Amino acid sequence: MEYESVKDELLSVADTGLKFATKQDASAEFEVYVHYGSGSRVELDQGVVTAKDGVVAGCAVRVAKDKRLGFACVSGVTAPRVKQAVKESLSVVNSVSTQDDRFEGFCDSKGAGRECTFNKDILGVEVSELVRLCQGMTKEARAVDERVKVVTAACRISWDAYAVANSRGIAKASKSGSGRCRVDVMSIEGDERKTGVGHDAACDRLIHAQGLGEQAAREAVGQHGAKKLGLTSVLPTIWGPEAAGAYVLSSFGQAVLGRPIVEHTSPLCDMMGAAIASPELTLVDDGQRPDGVGTEAIDAEGHAQQTNVLVERGVMKGFLFNSYYGRLSGVGSTGNCSRGGGPFGTPIPYESIVGVGTKALEIPPGSKTPDQLASSIDGKGILITDDPMGIFHSTMSTGQFSVVANRVYLIENGSIVCPIQPLSVAGNYYDGFRRLRGVGSDAALGYYQVRSPSLLFDGFTVVG
Amino acid sequence: MQRLIEVLQKAVEFGEKLGAQFVEARYDDLALRTLERTDDTWKDIQVKSRMGVGVTCYVEGVSGYSFTASPTLKEIRAATEKAYKMAKASAPAAELRLPITEAPPVKSVRSDTLPVKVHPRERDLPYKTELVNRTVQTAMEYGTSIKNVRGLYGELHGKKVFTNSEGSLIDWDYLVTDLRCLVTSKTDSGALVVGMEGNGGTYGLDHFESKGHTPEDVGREAGSRAKEQLKAQACPAGSFRALVDEDLAGVLAHESFGHLSEADFVVTGASPLTGRIGNRLGTPEASILDTGLPDVQKTGGLWVPFDDQGVRGSRTVVLGKGVLLHYLHNRGTAARLSETATGNSRAVSYVFPPIVRMTNTYFAPGTLSDEEAIEKLGTGVYALQSLGGQVEGNGSFLFIAVRGYWVEHGEIQYPLREVALSGNILELLTHVEGATRSLQIRAGYFGGCGKGDQSPLPVGLGGPKLVIDGVTFGGKA
């Protein structure tokens, strides 16, 4: 399939599947999802090149009959394959007696939003160009310092499209594309190994790889000579934009989702309208940002994507729902249906049952520069600049987290003093938001597509 | 199947004709089934068909990979051409090449597939939903202040076929089954706590009717643990002696050490284990192995008789009595480092190229009884069950235990909530003081290993219980 015509072709496959399904069992309600994604990826890992190019294509069918539900998916988007998915979903639903009494039907048709602004020059990027970008990032990093020993650079371009058709009249499609690159640098001196990362992702322009290798290398080299903190104590911690993005995604990013809200496993479920964070915090999930890599016209069940305010000046304002959980909560879908579990999504969305996911979390910047945040700390404090290890292994329900931050610096009397060795940081996510002392002005798009400024928290225990 | 093998062989010939020095072609036809019940509601009943072909072409020691969901000769030839073009375009940029060195062809036989008494394809859906119903109902009976009970069943099985330029011909059946339960309860103060249990691996459904593994066993353990957690306290922060259970020993073996022993990190110098074969890294009590051929009946685990480059599974002693002995390899890294290929080149599905991955990674058992181990711990933290973990290239790691106990003078004092253990693996291996005689390996359908963009890959991990000194615990100051 070609980018220009892919939506029409997928809509045709979805329509074929839906018509076939209805013929098989007119008493059942169906939803057909068809996905097609094309991508090329090149990695240059310390001189070892690996390259991949291929098409991920498949379809998923949901069927509902007397409140009994079935799901089946198959790889491939040919008519025989979509018909196979229909038959298998029917065989599931016909062999179970269990009902979901809360199911009220698939998604109702409700307009469409906008797709991301896609720069079609991305389609013309050749493999040789991806190789050249990887070589450029590697060369830059190595030029910074002879201690830069290991450099891994990767670039990819991809475009994806999907169509949804269901028995309630939805027949919609969306498409998007992006370029991404990342460079990981390790600087080695004796037994000391320090790392740095640079990355870029964009849908509305070609990726900017220039400067990333140098930036990552300087970050890695700058941590040599790290001292041991030698302390177990409760200290103020500044989480830089990358670290803060991971913090927000693994806490609120999971706790605001429809399922834990409806099932009461989220500690936020009874907090609508309550003050749950410092008034300095506002949090939005923006599925309609023109330059957002997660921006699509429709979500994974055909509902229009939209912009949702979750926290406004510290007050809980909204949760995120697909149509199932939206109906159960009484507020309807927020356009956040997703296919693919966890905070990272999946490269093979048709294999996942529908769920609820964030599209593009964003914390508006505050007024304090990073230096002003640091200078507001009396005595000792910690600056964390990486996404700490274990942040995505924490339990959203309890809010307890314990992570190891590798790229960390000691703050003393308002100034960043020196790099320190990896240390353990522990606390409770939600207590942290209540004790949020400052929001930086340095908002940046992190690797996990969360746009966050630096955040200064009180009350976490550090061991180092 | 014969026709498909011929198509794969034609793809290999076509790739060679284009100019590739070596070609591998593989076909997966896997069926996956997921069942999930939450409280009284069935959240998820699904089947998946994952069928497709992946082709790797090697040009001057550089690999190009492509794939297709369509098993027709036309589409497979197109994928082969793409793979060749990717390799050809990338080859000039390579500074380090990993060419395939010649090896005799490998042929599979029927007995390479592990037989089970009751294969999941022999039981209908209601039989499997009842496994989950029994699990959830039992958990509800044993839990208190329950907010939520989830019961899960998963199965993955089907054909894996492989051929290459050497004429290898491999055809075997993959199998993973898994039954799990997660209970969330609420304390009087409003905090949520969890209890969980589950077991998975290359098991027939008969496994879930055997002692210790029945739905009732799984539900009872999850419910009781959540109940116990209602009274649990926060773990103190600091450095303590630790006793870790079999699950956590497995995570330590896999996350903290196993990934560093993967030779793709070694050939590039990214791993701190680079160039350290023969070096003593740990105490004589610390031995770590990886095998695709575990004794599943005895220890549990995942059966992986061949990797996705057609190399037979083997048993690799990575760390023997504290000394680094071998890395885990694909064919290219093995040739580069002049070691034998270990059967560790694996892909999540046909959509991905095979990369160096673990199979079943575990600490070797020792000589202690459970009672002796807790006595040896003395005062410290007994940490149990895993919520996963992570390691950095510098050897620092973090993993999360679901629960624990504070122990004083060899006596359990009180339960602890979620416990985070961290440190540097190379330092920690020098603090391993002893291991129990038991060996348990867990694998599963849910969760698995992530590396790059390939996740989740079913793996087995395990060990005995380990006594370790000087582990850093994140917690309350």
Domain ranges of chain A: 6-217, 226-464
% of chain B at pLDDT higher than 70: 99
Main-chain dihedrals φ then ψ at residue A238, nearest 5 degrees: -100, 125
Hey, what are B425's tokens? 């693996």
User: Would the pLDDT of A161 be above 80?
Assistant: yes
Across A393-414, average pLDDT: 90
Main-chain dihedrals φ then ψ at residue A229, nearest 5 degrees: -65, -40
Is residue B321 domain-shared with residue B348, that is, in the same domain? yes
Is residue B195 domain-shared with residue B265, that is, in the same domain? no
Q: How far apart are CA B406 and CA B233, in angstroms?
A: 9
Is residue B391 domain-shared with residue B315, that is, in the same domain? yes
Residues of B with CB below 8 A from A390's CB?
A: 389-390, 398-400, 420, 422
Q: Would the CB atoms of A75 and B51 count as touching at under 8 Å?
A: yes
Q: Would the CB atoms of B69 and A394 count as touching at under 8 Å?
A: no
Report how far apart, in Å, the C-alpha atoms of B49 and of each of A76, B163, B457 are: 10, 22, 17
| CATH code: domain of residue B212 | 3.30.2290.10
Is residue B305 domain-shared with residue B447, that is, in the same domain? yes
Is residue B216 domain-shared with residue B248, that is, in the same domain? no
Residues of A with CB below 8 A from B352's CB?
A: 52
In the listed set B229, B256, B279, which residue is the last one of a domain according to the structure? Answer: B229
Q: Would the CB atoms of B474 and A461 count as touching at under 8 Å?
A: yes
Q: How far apart are CA B23 and CA B166, in angstroms?
A: 9
Is residue B172 domain-shared with residue B197, that is, in the same domain? yes
In sequence order, what are the residues at sequence separation of 6 or more whose Cβ sits closer than 8 angstroms to the Cβ of residue A124?
A: none
Residue A345: predicted pLDDT: 66
Residue-averaged pLDDT of chain B: 94
Residue B452: predicted pLDDT: 82
In the listed set B68, B92, B108, which residue is the last one of a domain according to the structure? Answer: B108
User: Would the pLDDT of A309 be above 80?
Assistant: yes
Q: How far apart are CA B116 and CA B133, in angstroms?
A: 24
Terminal CA-CA length for chain A: 54
Output the CA angle B360-B152-B49, nearest 5 degrees.
75
Q: How far apart are CA B115 and CA B165, in angstroms?
A: 30
Q: Would the CB atoms of B351 and A426 count as touching at under 8 Å?
A: no
Q: Is B445 in the A-facing interface, judged by CB distances under 8 Å? A: no
Q: Would the CB atoms of A389 and B422 count as touching at under 8 Å?
A: yes
Is pTM beyond 0.80? Reply is: yes
Q: How far apart are CA A181 and CA A202, in angstroms?
A: 9
**Which CATH number is associated with domain A6-217?**
3.30.2290.10
Residues of B with CB below 8 A from A101's CB?
A: 41
Q: Which helix (H) or strand (E) holds A133?
A: helix A127-144
pLDDT in tens, B302-358: 999 999 999 999 999 999 999 999 999 999 999 999 999 999 999 999 999 999 999
Q: How far apart are CA B302 and CA B143, in angstroms?
A: 31
pLDDT in tens, B383-413: 999 987 778 877 888 888 999 999 999 999 9
Give the residue on A whose Cα is nearest the Cα of B421. Answer: A402
In sequence order, what are the residues at sequence separation of 6 or more whose Cβ sits closer than 8 angstroms to the Cβ of residue A396?
A: A250, A251, A254, A255, A260, A265, A266, A429
* DSSP designation for B257: I
Domain encompassing residue B363: 238-474
Q: Would the CB atoms of A71 and B68 count as touching at under 8 Å?
A: no
Question: How many residues in total does chain B contain?
Answer: 477
Q: How far apart are CA B322 and CA B284, in angstroms?
A: 5
Q: In which band, very low, low, confident or very high, does the pLDDT at A392 lie, cut at 50, 70 and 90?
A: confident
Burial of B443 (0-12, 13-18, 19+ CB in 10 A): buried
Residues of A with CB below 8 A from B92's CB?
A: 131
Phi-psi region of B358 (alpha: psi -120 to 50; beta: other; left: phi over 0): beta
Residue B256: predicted pLDDT: 81
Question: How many residues in total does chain A contain?
Answer: 464
Q: Which residue of B268, B276, B330 is the best one to mutate when testing the A interface, meaning the one whose CB has the most A CBs within 10 A?
A: B268
User: Would the pLDDT of A456 be above 60?
Assistant: yes
What total number of domains does chain B contain?
3
Residue A343: predicted pLDDT: 54
Is residue B195 domain-shared with residue B335, that is, in the same domain? no
Q: Is B68 in the A-facing interface, judged by CB distances under 8 Å? A: yes
Output the CA angle A142-A148-A151, nearest 5 degrees.
70
Residue A347: predicted pLDDT: 82
Q: Would the CB atoms of A400 and B91 count as touching at under 8 Å?
A: no
Q: Of the candidates A54, A131, A393, which has its C-beta nearest B388's C-beta?
A: A393
User: Would the pLDDT of A299 be above 90?
Assistant: yes
Is residue B210 domain-shared with residue B299, that is, in the same domain? no
Report how far apart, in Å, the C-alpha atoms of A327 and of each of A167, A262, A334, A444 are: 18, 10, 11, 35
Residue A294: predicted pLDDT: 84
Is the residue at B37 inside a domain?
no
Across B117-130, average pLDDT: 94
Is residue B312 domain-shared with residue B382, that is, in the same domain? yes
Q: How far apart are CA A248 and CA A236, in angstroms?
A: 17
Is residue B283 domain-shared with residue B389, that is, in the same domain? yes
Q: Which residue of B252, B351, B473 is the best one to mutate when testing the A interface, meaning the one whose CB has the most A CBs within 10 A?
A: B351
Q: How far apart are CA B195 and CA B139, in angstroms?
A: 10
Is the residue at B42 inside a domain?
no
Spatial contact of B155 and B33, defined as CB atoms under 8 Å apart: yes
Q: Of the candidates B66, B148, B190, which has its C-beta nearest A265's C-beta?
A: B148
Across A297-322, average pLDDT: 98
Beta bridge partners of A69: A64
Q: How far apart are CA B459 and CA B156, in angstroms?
A: 13
User: Would the pLDDT of A342 be above 60?
Assistant: no
User: Would the pLDDT of A172 be above 80?
Assistant: yes
Spatial contact of B384 and B346, defined as CB atoms under 8 Å apart: no
Find where tokens 């080149």 sit: B345
Is residue B89 domain-shared with residue B104, that is, in the same domain? yes
Q: How far apart are CA B53 and CA B8, in angstroms?
A: 8
Q: Of the candidates A40, A44, A393, which has its C-beta nearest B93's C-beta?
A: A44
Residue B255: predicted pLDDT: 84
Tell me the three state secondary structure of residue B258.
helix
Is the residue at B454 inside a domain?
yes
| Closest by Cα among A410, A235, A233 to B476 | A233
Q: Of the candidates A57, A101, A353, which has its C-beta nearest B69's C-beta?
A: A57
Beta bridge partners of B364: none
Spatial contact of A404 and B398, defined as CB atoms under 8 Å apart: yes
Q: In which band, very low, low, confident or very high, does the pLDDT at A214 lie, cut at 50, 70 and 90?
A: very high
In the listed set B207, B229, B251, which residue is the last one of a domain according to the structure? Answer: B229
Q: Of the candidates B42, B98, B424, which has its C-beta nearest A98's C-beta?
A: B42
Residue B453: predicted pLDDT: 82
Question: Maximum distance among all alpha carbons in chain B?
Answer: 71
Residue B430: predicted pLDDT: 96
Buried b (16+ CB within 10 A) or exposed e, A400-438: bbbbbbbbbbbbeeeebeebbbbbbbbbbbbebbbbbbb
Spatial contact of B422 and B248, defined as CB atoms under 8 Å apart: no
Number of neighbours of residue A379 by Cβ within 10 angstroms? 11
Q: How far apart are CA B260 and CA B442, in angstroms?
A: 21
User: Would the pLDDT of A14 be above 90?
Assistant: yes
Q: Which helix (H) or strand (E) holds A95?
A: helix A79-95
Residues of A with CB below 8 A from B32's CB?
A: 351
Burial of B210 (0-12, 13-18, 19+ CB in 10 A): exposed
Q: Picking from A40-49, B333-342, B468-477, which range would have the lowest pLDDT averaged per residue?
A: B468-477
Is residue B63 domain-shared with residue B172, that is, in the same domain? no
SS3 content of chain A, % helix, strand, coil (to 5): 25, 40, 40
